[in-house]
Structure 1
Amino acid sequence: MTKQDKATAYWKINIKYVLILLSVWFLVSYGAGILFKDALNTIKIGGFKLGFWFAQQGSMYVFVILIFVYVRLMNRLDKKYGYDE
């Protein structure tokens, strides 16, 4: 595998990870906070409706978790393609 092929494969996987993680974040923030809020509002957490919670807090928590997931995935990818330190 040439250096260019290796770099192309690396970025292809990286973009795949980014698109998947952004899709998850979109589904949580837009889907749970706006589209499915009426169904989620039937469930309460800590006295607050779940749809409201996702719109106010949940999407931020998921975003922070996705950052850590991305870091872990990229560390593995770096090691696989020899770009680790």
Structure 2
Amino acid sequence: MLLLRELAYRGGRAKLRYLKTYRAILEWGGEDYASYILNRLKEGSLVKVEGDYVALTGRVQPGNPIKLAEEARALLIREGS
């Protein structure tokens, strides 16, 4: 969900390598886990991958970017413990 909200905050389309949530997943979960999450989002028709870019296919309320960063940090700390 955090990945979708960050993508919505960035206008609905961005390069994967610029998404902080995706980079955090790569760092903590590894490439296999990041690919798994991205594939699940594609299968659910929530995102569409166009080369290096990923785009939202529906509407997601972006929310507050500071709150988004705090939620991502809390998630990483909880899973890292």
Choose between structure 1 and 2 for higher RCO, CA contacts under 8 A separated by at least 6 residues.
2
Higher strand share: 2
Give the TM-score normalised by the residue count of structure 2: 0.28
Point out the structure with max Rg over C-alpha: 1
Higher helix share: 1
Give the TM-score normalised by the residue count of structure 1: 0.28
